[in-house]
């Protein structure tokens, strides 16, 4: 349990610095967000009962809310919902046996 919390905190810290890097340095070169791709990849590859994808989606949404003119929580809850829906769709309707070799996140 402690190990899981520690891993999550490390992930969130890394996401925080990556977000800051994207919002300041990378904004000169590209409008593409690598962080959103990162969150998407976690959510797609993670097992349906996993929580890391959901937490990372919530945190990324929260960062977007704070560093924009949005209401706090708008994107955080939207991204969490999308993450849950994605898991639901992947679990219910998608089978990709060839992905079984990918290690668990």
> Which string of x and - marks every residue 24-53 that binds other proteins (by CB under 8 A)?
xxxxxx-x-x--------------xx----
| Contact call for residue 20 and other proteins (CB under 8 A) | yes
Nearer to other proteins, 41 or 89 (CB): 89
| Contact call for residue 77 and other proteins (CB under 8 A) | yes
Q: What are the CB-based long-range contacts (under 8 Å, 24+) for 9-16?
A: 11/52, 11/55, 11/56, 12/55, 12/56, 12/59, 15/56, 15/59, 15/60, 15/63, 16/59, 16/63
| Contact call for residue 101 and other proteins (CB under 8 A) | no
Nearer to other proteins, 71 or 101 (CB): 71
DSSP calls for 77-102: HHHHHHHHHHHHHHHHH---GGGGGS
Least distance between other proteins and beta carbon 87 (Å): 5
Number of residues in contact with other proteins under rule CB under 8 A: 32
Binding site for other proteins (CB under 8 A): 20-29, 31, 33, 48-49, 64, 66-74, 76-77, 80-81, 84, 87-88, 91
């Amino acid at each position: 349990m402690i190990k899981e919390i520690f891993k999550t905190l490390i992930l969130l810290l890394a996401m925080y610095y990556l977000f800051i890097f994207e919002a300041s340095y990378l904004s000169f070169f590209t409008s593409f967000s690598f962080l959103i791709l990162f969150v998407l990849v976690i959510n797609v590859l993670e097992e349906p009962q996993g929580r890391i994808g959901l937490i990372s989606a919530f945190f990324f949404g929260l960062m977007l809310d704070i560093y924009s003119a949005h209401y706090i929580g708008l994107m955080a809850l939207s991204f969490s919902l999308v993450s849950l829906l994605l898991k639901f769709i992947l679990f219910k309707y998608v089978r990709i046996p060839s992905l079984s070799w990918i290690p668990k996140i």
